[in-house]
Amino acid sequence: MNRFPFATYLTSNTDLDETMIHELVHQCMNKSVDKGAYLLRQGETCEYSIFVEKGLLKQFAIDDQGKEHILQFAPENWIVSDRASAYFNQPSEYFIQAIEDSNVVLFDEAFILQLAKSNASFLEFNHRQLHNHIRQLQRRILQLQSATASERYQHFVKVYPDLLLRVPLVQIASYLGITPESLSRVRRELAQQNRTILS
Amino acid sequence: MATRSVEAIIRPGSPHYVGDGFRVHNFIPGNQGASMQRMNPFIMLDYNSKYRFAGTDKPRGVGVHPHRGFETVTIAYQGKVAHHDSGGGGGVIAQGDVQWMTAASGVLHKEYHEKEWAKEGGPFQMVQLWVNLPARDKMSPPKYQAIQNNTIPKVTLDDAGSTVEVIAGTYQDTPGAASTFTPVNLLNARLKKGSAAGFSFPAPYNTALVVIEGSIVINGKNQAPTDHFVLMANDGESFTVEATDDAVVLVMSGEPIHEPIAAHGPFVMNTRQELIEAFEDFNQGKFGYLED
């Protein structure tokens, strides 16, 4: 599996000076986490945003019945955080857990502010990322209200093209807000329509 | 003919699980010099060294997953594996058998310890080797060669009862059981203590050994113990393997395929674009459907 260094993520998206980025990134915390380890638990304060250099995380909540609801997957090159907790300083409602052995970089709000202060292109990039995030969240709300299981699945594989190989179907169903049986049915029907390779 | 020397003797690294049924040491690509490029056309080798699985009513194994662009070769030394695929095929690979699956354009399959074997449990020992396909064959139709042990040609070496099983390629003019897309030799040398076997493959062919049982000496000087991987250099053709204990040695040698490799997980193609297509086809059900 390839590794996606945080410094590369920043240099390829902003016109920040490379030396400066490396200095700043050096101040961030690099962490290796084993599959199953938690980076955040419900009730804790989320102090960091987490950039995934290698591996895969999930952010989820557990309801009163003990059922897991997955809000987001974060594979390589993604950022995951609990905004309510990290920005508004509330105890988190979420868990963030590694579902593969992972390498992550933790950065806090001060890091963002420092970068933003020193560089307009970063400010613009960060702004764009936030709006893109909101756009995705809006689309996801609408989908959960109105889209069929098949439409949800089709959108999922566009956003996360390789996760079907990395995540058990029951977790994908949780993310999509459908039952595992519905997900199986959707995939079976799709295979019947599209099956072209095997005779 | 020049002697082919030993380039490296590689110790088995710490094992990891594939699913919950295969406890493997990865030798190719590994991190000790046997990269895909170095070992080409052999692009992956997982070795489940002898490991005792306890009996269970729920067979261990690995669930539904796809492959495209290469062949998987499963060699069962101990234990039994049942497999099923999205084309409706399936079967059991028992001790001594070899399954040569040409994934090519794509299959979904799953592999579990065979149900009755799993109930009892016992020692389990297998090799899974991936053999790359040239660009012209990557999208050919998938197929199986289920090779039972009694159909594998055997060359008797001496009165002690040492033999070489010819899985693919040739050994001393005896052709192997499996057909291959590019020149590949795959042999099981079963040597009694003190017996020796000679091998000769063109120098450019990438060549390696896995010591499955016992211990051996290569070219009269390099010792390799059980569960070690021997990477042979490309400085000559011929080498000898002598058993210092009753030994089983998997010998592989293949002509390199001089094409770019774009690999991600279970897909091995030539370009990044082909990898993206593989993911799209898999996500869109073009590999078929198989119940978990």
Contact A61, A69 (CB under 8 A): yes
Residue A76 has pLDDT above 50, yes or no: yes
Inter-chain CB pairs, A–B, below 8 Å:
60
Share above pLDDT 90 across residues of chain B, in percent, rounded to a whole number:
95
Other Cβ atoms within 10 Å of A143 Cβ, number: 16
The 10s digit of each residue's pLDDT in A91-140 is 999 999 999 999 999 999 888 888 888 888 888 888 998 999 999 999 99
B287 and A196 within 8 Å at the Cβ level: the answer is no
Q: What is the pLDDT of residue A2?
A: 63
Q: What is the pLDDT of residue A194?
A: 83
Q: In what order do the strands lie in the sheet with B90-93?
A: B61-67, B107-113, B81-85, B90-93
Residue B280 has pLDDT above 90, yes or no: yes
Residue B248 has pLDDT above 80, yes or no: yes
Which of A162, A170, A171 would you mutate first to test chain B, the one with the most B CBs within 10 A?
A162
A194 and B284 within 8 Å at the Cβ level: the answer is yes
Q: With bands split at pLDDT 50, 70 and 90, how would you rate the model's confidence at A196?
A: low
Tokens of A110: 């001060």
CB proximity B279 to A under 8 Å: yes
Beta bridge partners of B19: none
Q: What is the pLDDT of residue A199?
A: 41
The 10s digit of each residue's pLDDT in A140-187 is 999 999 999 999 999 999 999 999 999 999 999 999 999 999 999 999
Tokens of B43: 């692009």
Residue A1 has pLDDT above 60, yes or no: no
The rounded distance, in Å, linking the Cα atoms of B229 and B250 is: 9
Residue type for position B224: A
B288 and A195 within 8 Å at the Cβ level: the answer is yes
Residue A197 has pLDDT above 60, yes or no: no
Q: With bands split at pLDDT 50, 70 and 90, how would you rate the model's confidence at B65?
A: very high
Q: Quick one: how far is CA B277 from the chain centroid? A: 27
- Interface confidence (ipTM) of the complex: 0.82
Residue B79 has pLDDT above 70, yes or no: yes
Contact B234, B203 (CB under 8 A): yes
The rounded distance, in Å, linking the Cα atoms of A2 and A56 is: 12
Residue A37 has pLDDT above 60, yes or no: yes
Share above pLDDT 70 across residues of chain B, in percent, rounded to a whole number:
100
Interface of A with B in 56-115 (CB under 8 A): none
Find the residue in B nearest to A164 (Cα).
B283
Find the residue in B nearest to A193 (Cα).
B285
CB proximity A169 to B under 8 Å: yes
The full set of domains in chain B, from first to last, is: 6-283 (2.60.120.10)
The 10s digit of each residue's pLDDT in B250-260 is 999 999 999 99
The rounded distance, in Å, linking the Cα atoms of B268 and B69 is: 5
Q: What is the pLDDT of residue A12?
A: 80
The 10s digit of each residue's pLDDT in B99-118 is 999 999 999 999 999 999 99
